[in-house]
Structure 1
Amino acid sequence: MSLLYHDQTVAALQRDAAWVAAAVPDEPRVPLRLPTGLPGDLAIGGYAVSGARLFGDGPAHSGLAASSKDGRVHDTVEGGFLAVSAPVPSDEGTAMVIRVATPNSQVRDRVHQAWLLMGGLALIVIALAAGVAVRQSARLAAPLERLTAVAQALGGGDFSVRTSPSGLREADQAGQALESTARRLGAVLSRERAFSADVSHQLRTGLTGLLLGLESALSRPGADLAPAIRAALARGERLQEVIDDLVRLSRDSRVPIEPLDVRGLMEEIRQEWLGPLAEQGRRLTITVEPELPPTTAQPAAVRQILRVLLDNALRHGQGEVAVTVSDVGPGLAIEVSDHGQGVAEGADPFIRSSGDSHGIGLALARSLAEAEGGRLVLSRARPPLFSLLLPGRGT
């Protein structure tokens, strides 16, 4: 800063010295009339090339003036003044030297004033910046505090949390993402709870049947227990398969790579359900089209869905039970039908109800179908026809 003001003052003194030198004749006379319009604080003097003062203000002898005999302009601090010398040229060379000076203290005062001004401006800028920072931090902290409260509520199990707009794009985006996460977690938890309730019902149903068979055999005096034990073992093995399938489905979220072996699965269904239906004097027919699109649904899920449908047909249906596997374009359909009374008009068989056993089972079956990317629908109410729609591979 001091160098800047020094250079500016020297440049101004050089202009004034050149102006005076141009106005001075080669052989000045005393008193000399100087040009008007010069600053009043300037000390202007004329010097011989030897450095002796001829007229005007300044020291009696000036080394600065003596240095200008080379015909060039010089500047220095001399006697507490910032001085500039300018030669007055003549035909014989440098006739004389004009020395123009100003108190060096004025330059220092200007520097100090500039520093004070800059310091004041800096303080004002810092104060303004601090005020803006405090206001901005409060503006940013408020939505972040609200997001923190929402996140804590979500962590506490409240999946109905909502955030209010704050006007900050980033905070609003984070709030929307938090709301979306809360909705997804709530939906997932609801499905998991419903799935657990449905699974527990399915397991209790099988266990109840096993226990009732054993109690019935024990309550008959002299009854042959061997058939009851064999039936209990068969039911226990079936219950074990159900447990294994459900545990596998709950743990394995990977998309299967191998296509579903539909014909092998239908053979399992035939062996499992042919006997129970035959005990009621009913037939089981299974029809599989020769050409079927490949599907990667998990066998455990499809097996459990068909078990629910066939168990309903066994318990609540009548007549022949038909299972048909057909091509439906981008996927395949597995249909299960019987000749029973079916579903009452206006009733939804998939609604969970503690007093309606097949409603709970069908709800579980629909949940498993949706988890595989498919659908389980009631295609016909009377006589009942349920359709399991599975997507083809890659769809």
Structure 2
Amino acid sequence: MKRNREPAPLRHRVLVAIVGVAALTVALFAVPLAVAVGQLYRNETTGGLERDATWIAAAIPDELTQGGNVPVSLPKVLPSGLTVGVYTMGGRLLSGDGPQTSDVVTSAHDGHVHDAVENGFLAVSAPIPSDESPAGVVRVATPYDLVEDRVHRAWLVMAGLGVIVIGLATVFALRQSIRLAAPLEHLTRAAQALGAGDFSIRAPRSDVREADAAGLALEATAHRLGEVLDRERAFSADVSHQLRTQLTGMLLGLESALARPGADLPHVIGTALARGERLRTVIEDLVRLSRDSRTGAEPFDVRSLLEEARADWHGTLAAQGRRLNVTLSGELPAAQASAAAIRQILRVLLENATVHGRGEIVVDVADLGDAIAIEVSDQGEGVSEDADIFTRRSGHADGHGIGLALARSLAEAEGGRLTLRRGSPPVFSLLLPSASDQE
């Protein structure tokens, strides 16, 4: 089975890319330059030889053209390091140094200067000027090794400079690879810490704007996830309290009936069924809330929800000799929130007024334009306005605690707000976003 190769790390890729580009640039620049330098040095040497050959040819006496028996004399002072010879037009050596025959000499029969590499020498031939046709040829040569040595030294210097450039590029590539890869490595460790449950992660800042932006986004995500998880934990605890409250009430009623001989069993069973139905509604609402948190809430009719609440609580309050009065101020727009969430909030507020309040319970609803206000009040003593009744407390604590904490968290999750507008007599105010304001 073919194994997938592990991708190369970013540091290695950046290093290879920068050094590779630098090496390719040096090669593309150095190779043509090396060829040009070699040609330049040869042309420079050839030019010097041409000047020497022309000067020597001009210094040879013209008697050479008068016959073949006149000895040829070269200038007494000749450039050092050069091989100088005088040849006939047929390429035969007459005087001086050089090979007995030379191809570059025979090329000068056209009266022009020629150069070529022969027998390990760079040779230049120049015709000897005469009143008639050239009578001979001067051949000046220098060892070609000297030219090649000069070219090779230049190439070594260029190669050394290329190595230095590639070395500097490597150092730069190492620094850049660390600079670019380090922020991503920090982000990887931060993401791993987030996956392990650490929502207080902080990604170190770097000079890379994109990496810093990703770090800030990761930190913001971690903060939001932490808040969501905290809310979910608190919500779960509050929900379990609400369910236990309903279930405990139903069980206590049944146990009390069993403990009393002659208890009105039909009434007890009817009460238990009503509480069980209420518990079923609570569970359905909580399931619906969980689904709505993912899909979004649809607008709902506030009036129908209030009528439903009136029907649910009428019997309980009537048994206590109390009334539930729902007042609506004109036409109401739909509310942009989850009906299940608002039903639970109203249940908490009405249960709070039923258990801890006295007298008539009033639910007043008004359209505020961009919001819908629902106020729940009763005639009880209420609570001190300094008391933090929306703070979640232990499930064994007396008072309002967990129910109101759940109600506020539900309201805030729906974009609303739940406050205690007046402490005594208590007035709770629930503000919900209006669906007409969302259009």
Is TM (by shorter chain) over 0.5? yes
Partner deviation per Cα, 1:203-234 (whole Å, 9 max, x = no partner):
01111111111112112101221111111111
Q: 2 CA distance for matches of 1:337 and 1:34?
A: 132
Q: 1 CA distance for matches of 2:359 and 2:187?
A: 61
| 2:411 paired with 1:379 | no
CA positional deviation for 1:8 = 2.0
Aligned-partner SS, 1:41: coil
Partner of 1:352: 392
Partner of 2:44: 12
Say whether the 8 Å CA contact 1:288–1:325 is kept in structure 2.
Answer: yes
Say whether the 8 Å CA contact 1:75–1:83 is kept in structure 2.
Answer: yes
- Name which of structure 1's ranges 296-305 and 373-382 shifts more when overlaid on structure 2: 373-382
| 2:223 paired with 1:191 | no
Partner deviation per Cα, 1:92-137 (whole Å, 9 max, x = no partner):
5656544343212223333443454444445545555555555555
Partner of 1:242: 282
Q: 2 CA distance for matches of 1:291 and 1:73?
A: 114
Paired AA for residue 362 in structure 1: L
1:264-279 equivalent positions in 2, closer than 5 A: 264-279=304-319
1:280-295 equivalent positions in 2, closer than 5 A: 280-295=320-335
CA positional deviation for 1:241 = 0.9
| 2:195 paired with 1:161 | no
Paired AA for residue 382 in structure 1: S
Say whether the 8 Å CA contact 2:254–2:272 is kept in structure 1.
Answer: yes
| 2:319 paired with 1:316 | no
Q: 1 CA distance for matches of 2:188 and 2:298?
A: 45
Q: 1 CA distance for matches of 2:342 and 2:122?
A: 102
CA positional deviation for 1:350 = 0.7
Matching residue within 405, 410, 428 for 1:363: 405
The gaps in structure 2 that reach 5 residues or longer are 1-30, 62-71
Change (3 A) 1:154 1:144: same
- The CA RMSD measured in Å over matched residues stands at 3.1
Change (3 A) 1:266 1:79: same
Aligned-partner SS, 2:392: coil
Change (3 A) 1:87 1:386: farther
Partner of 1:219: 259
Change (3 A) 1:138 1:168: same
Change (3 A) 1:149 1:9: closer
1:110-189 equivalent positions in 2, closer than 5 A: 110-133=150-173, 146-165=186-205, 169=209, 171-189=211-229
Q: 1 CA distance for matches of 2:323 and 2:128?
A: 134
Aligned-partner SS, 2:44: helix
Q: Which has the higher relative contact order, 1 or 2, with Cα contacts under 8 A spaced 6 or more apart?
A: 2
Partner of 2:20: none
CA positional deviation for 1:341 = 1.4
Aligned length, in residue pairs:
393
Q: 2 CA distance for matches of 1:17 and 1:109?
A: 17
CA positional deviation for 1:164 = 4.1
Q: 1 CA distance for matches of 2:160 and 2:409?
A: 73
Matching residue within 62, 66, 69 for 2:102: 62
| 2:60 paired with 1:28 | yes
Change (3 A) 1:211 1:105: same
Change (3 A) 1:64 1:369: same
Say whether the 8 Å CA contact 1:21–1:88 is kept in structure 2.
Answer: no
CA positional deviation for 1:60 = 3.1
CA positional deviation for 1:49 = 3.3
TM-score by length of 2: 0.78
Partner deviation per Cα, 1:308-329 (whole Å, 9 max, x = no partner):
1111111111222121221112
The gaps in structure 1 that reach 5 residues or longer are none
CA positional deviation for 1:290 = 3.2
